[in-house]
Amino acid sequence: MRPLFIMDTTNEPIEVITAWQEWYKKNRVVAELDKPLITKDSREQMHDTANATATLASRIDQLTDYCKTMSFKKAQEYFADTIAEFTNELSGREIYKAFYAAAMDNMDAVEKEYNKAKQLVDMLRCNNVAP
């Protein structure tokens, strides 16, 4: 018995091969002018990215909505934990004041970061480095 890799695989008669070649020539779909609905439209759809862009934008919107929902749930959970932790030690008014003080501290920190970034951008613009 001969090994598989050197076996002769051309056992089909030449008539079968010729018949297949003739069938293929008659039935292949090439960009022919007399069949624009089959070939031209399918080619144009293949290159049309309008639907792909809309689908991508829709998926990005869905992902953004999901992220917002998850962030909201996470914030709600953190606030609930904080309230539960300090309910015995602080009154509702004191918890409110603590929350307000934390929001003000956060705003001050963000404002300082913004001012530093703005100062850098202003310096770059003055030196005509900005693109």
Q: pLDDT, tens digit, for every residue of 80-92? A: 999 999 999 999 9
pTM above 0.75, yes or no: no
Which residues have a Cβ under 8 Å from the Cβ of 124 and sit 6 or more positions away? 130
- Looking at residue 112, what is its pLDDT? 95
Angle value at C-alpha 29, between 53 and 55, nearest 5 degrees: 10
pLDDT at 63 over 80: yes
List Cα–Cα distances, 117 to 35, 36, 103, 114, 122, in angstroms.
Answer: 61, 58, 21, 5, 9
The tokens describing 93, both together, are: 């008014």
pLDDT digits over 118-127, tens only? 999 888 888 7
Q: What's the pLDDT band for 47 if we cut at 50, 70, 90?
A: low
pLDDT at 17 over 90: no
